[in-house]
Amino acid sequence: MANDESLIQGASPDIKYSSFSSGKWANASTAVPTEMALTIYIDGTELVTILCTPTKLNCLVLGFLYSEGIISGMSDVASMRVCEEDSLADVKLSKPGYTPPARRTLASGCGGGVSFATEMQKVESQLTVKPEEVFSLMKQLNEKAELYRFSGGVHTSALCNNSEVLVVAEDIGRHNTLDKIVGECLLTKLPTDDKLLLTTGRISSEMLSKAARMRTPIIVSRSSPTDRSISIAQKLGITLIGYVRGNRLSVYSHEERLLPS
């Protein structure tokens, strides 16, 4: 990363604003997250427009297509062109003829998420973790949240093994962070199964759907899960851990993966 913090990708520096404190107004400047609307085209047909942070856009596109079951790997992609200036991604599939489903689900997350996927398979894994490992990984995640520390206003997620963070993504949409992770793993050929997913945002049903598609058996958040995500996690064999703060955590499903200290 460049030493000049104003060059941090995904943030707009020197945004002017007025502040009011202790009965007085003052002029100031700050950095805020950058937001864009990225439209994805499949074989020339518009698929979806995603509100996102303009970082790792190629990963975001690939991860979204994988999460939605449109592709199963890089071999399904004949070509891809991502143009930030024109706010579009043009993807050509190896087997033309894809037709977007008529039904879509608007995701609950910030960033204008949308999902076409409806089927989720149970996650089989022997992965276990100790509470101390969860605390250590969450600390690493917080340390790697560079954009959040610079501008605030974004979510951070990471794919981890039991000891270290492997891939990190930040975005205004928490579901986008998972898609960016998936896309980067597809590009680098890093398996996502038998890993942990960490996130700073709440865990909702679309987050569970993406995690299940990734075959990750443990999801960890410093925030709360929704009741629907807990129900889905119980059915899919996913361990759901929330409210990881300091040396405390809460387990909502499949606590058998948590080993004693």
Average pLDDT per run of 10 along the chain, which is 261 residues long?
60 93 94 95 93 97 94 96 96 88 53 56 95 97 94 95 98 96 98 97 92 96 95 96 95 96 76
The pLDDT score that the predictor gives to residue 98 is 83
Could you give the 3-state DSSP secondary structure of residue 101?
coil
Q: How far apart are CA 155 and CA 128, in angstroms?
A: 26
Other C-beta atoms closer than 10 Å to the C-beta of 255 total 11
Q: How far apart are CA 66 and CA 192, in angstroms?
A: 12
The upper half-sphere exposure of residue 193, i.e. CA atoms within 13 Å in the direction of its Cβ, equals: 7
Other C-beta atoms closer than 10 Å to the C-beta of 189 total 8
Active site residue 110: yes
Best CA proximity match to 211, nearest among 117, 99, 76, 75? 117
The pLDDT score that the predictor gives to residue 7 is 65
The pLDDT score that the predictor gives to residue 102 is 63
The pLDDT score that the predictor gives to residue 118 is 53
The pLDDT score that the predictor gives to residue 255 is 96
**Helix, strand, coil percentages for the chain (3-state, nearest 5):** 30, 35, 35
What residue type is assigned to position 73 of the chain? G
Place of tokens 């199963």: 72
124 burial (CB, 10 Å; 0-12 / 13-18 / 19+) is exposed
CB 254 within 8 A of CB 237: yes
Domains belonging to the chain, first-starting first, are 36-115 (3.10.20.10), 131-257 (3.40.140.10)
Question: For residue 245, what are its two tokens?
Answer: 């703060």
The pLDDT score that the predictor gives to residue 104 is 55
Catalytic residue among 52, 59, 83, 110: 110
